[in-house]
Amino acid sequence: MIGQTGPVMGGADHNLGELIAVGRTSEVFAYGTDSVVKVLRPGVPGHWATLEARFTTEVRAGGLSTPEVRGVVDVDGRPGVVFERIVGPSMWQVIMDRPDDAAALGRELASVHQEIQRAGVPSGIPDLVARLCNKILDVDRLSEENRQEACSIVGTLPRGAALLHGDLHPGNVLMHAQGPVVIDWFDSVIGHPVADVVRSSILLRRPSTGGTPPHLPGATPELLDVIHASYAGEFAGLLEQLELDIRLWEPVLAAGRMAEGVSGEEASLAALWASRSEEQSSSPLLLLN
Ligand SMILES: Nc1ncnc2c1ncn2[C@@H]1O[C@H](COP(=O)(O)OP(=O)(O)OP(=O)(O)O)[C@@H](O)[C@H]1O
Ligand SMILES: [Mg+2]
């Protein structure tokens, strides 16, 4: 059924239940008795649903804990991916409910990430270098010269051959009674593990202009600092050996993130992009030891 978009005949889809979450590109609804459907927002390219279904299926076949994909359907003219419904709060919800456990949960996020990196490489997942470059070439806020420069930096970095989630943060881990389940695999790629740790680190940092990252609603700067330090601390050994690479991954991943157009992050991302020509890096990833 995956990859086939089945139009819902006769109007309303009676499987469609309550709205569970609203994201940047999609809305998630309950679906039938034990599923959810992630429906793309109007204007989002329709084939993204098929891609997310395909990537999630491949990753699950490789043995990682992720929801079963149950098909791609048409909901009022919009494509949606039907997933097994995972019962349990997100790791972010747990952190908000129990902020005293934030450090332990940051370490648990790192352990989930290490498990992904140790998993084999599933087939059918795109290459980081090509996908990141495509994203960067779409960023209006950078000049054409800057976009070309970012892509050529990407080309100089070690390629690696690990599975990367591409958007791993505590909102994309659901805490099922039997252990964490990772969702939202649309951005998954094959590439160097350090790139994915840097991407998560960027997602966990306090925005330079204050405010709250939209993917971590209700976060305070202090809480983000605790989670970031405990998460990144678990990768200290790996990061120490690759200091030079980190100093290049940060600006190019920030450039790629600009393509997502998340409001409130502009200043932090611009500063990271500018850091490519600084002699001294102030990255929190390089201040771990
Ligand atoms: N399989 C699932 N079972 C239960 N709840 C889910 C499942 N998939 C998603 N959800 C709920 O929907 C929320 C958003 O899901 P997801 O992270 O896939 O989309 P998103 O981050 O909104 O996507 P995007 O930002 O790309 O639009 C999750 O935090 C969770 O509450
Ligand atoms: Mg998400």
Task: Pick the residue whose CA is nearest to atom 1 on ligand 1.
Answer: 85
22 pLDDT above the threshold of 60: yes
Q: Does 243 lie in the same domain as 141?
A: yes
Q: Say if residue 102 is in the same domain as residue 244.
A: yes
Q: What is the average per-residue pLDDT within 133-146?
A: 97
**pLDDT value for 9:** 45
Sheet strands (E) in the chain: 5-6, 16-22, 26-31, 35-40, 69-75, 78-84, 162-164, 173-176, 179-182, 189-191
94/174 Cα distance (integer angstroms): 10
Task: Please tell me the predicted confidence (pLDDT) of residue 148.
Answer: 98
**Looking at the CA of 183, which ligand is closest?**
1
Of the residues 46, 61, 84, the one at which a domain ends: 84
CB 222 within 8 A of CB 124: no
- pLDDT above 70 for 11: no
Nearest to 29 by CA among 85, 90, 72: 85
251 and 203 in a common domain = yes
Is pTM, for the whole model, over 0.75? yes
CATH number for the domain spanning 170: value is 3.90.1200.10
For residue 7, the model assigns a pLDDT of: 47
For a ligand 1 pocket test, name from 18, 24, 26, 28 the mutation site with the most ligand atoms within 8 angstroms of its C-beta.
28
Binding site membership of 180 for ligand 1 (Cβ less than 6 Å) = no
pLDDT, mean of residues 122-129: 95
Residue nearest to atom 10 of ligand 1 (CA): 28
Distance 188 CA to ligand 2 centre (A): 12
Domain membership of residue 55 as a residue range: 5-84
Q: How far is CA 246 from CA 79, 157, 194, 273, in A?
A: 37, 10, 7, 13
Q: Percentage of the chain surpassing pLDDT 90? A: 83
Interatomic CA distance for residues 237 and 233, integer angstroms: 9
Query: Which residue, 43, 64, 84, sits at the end of a domain?
Result: 84
Decide which of 49, 84, 119 is a domain's last residue: 84
Confidence of residue 111 (pLDDT cuts 50, 70, 90): very high
Closest residue (by CA) to atom 29 of ligand 1? 171
Instruction: Tell whether ligand 1 has an atom less than 6 A from the beta carbon of residue 67.
Output: yes
Tokens at 34, concatenated: 């034990």
Number of folded domains that form the chain: 2
Q: How far apart (Å, rounded) are the C-alpha atoms in residues 99 and 118?
A: 29
Shared domain for 44 and 135, answered yes or no, is: no
On whether both 167 and 193 belong to a single domain, the answer is yes
> Same domain for 74 and 200?
no
What's the whole-number mean pLDDT along residues 27-31?
98
- Candidates 289, 162, 179; CA nearest to 232 is 289
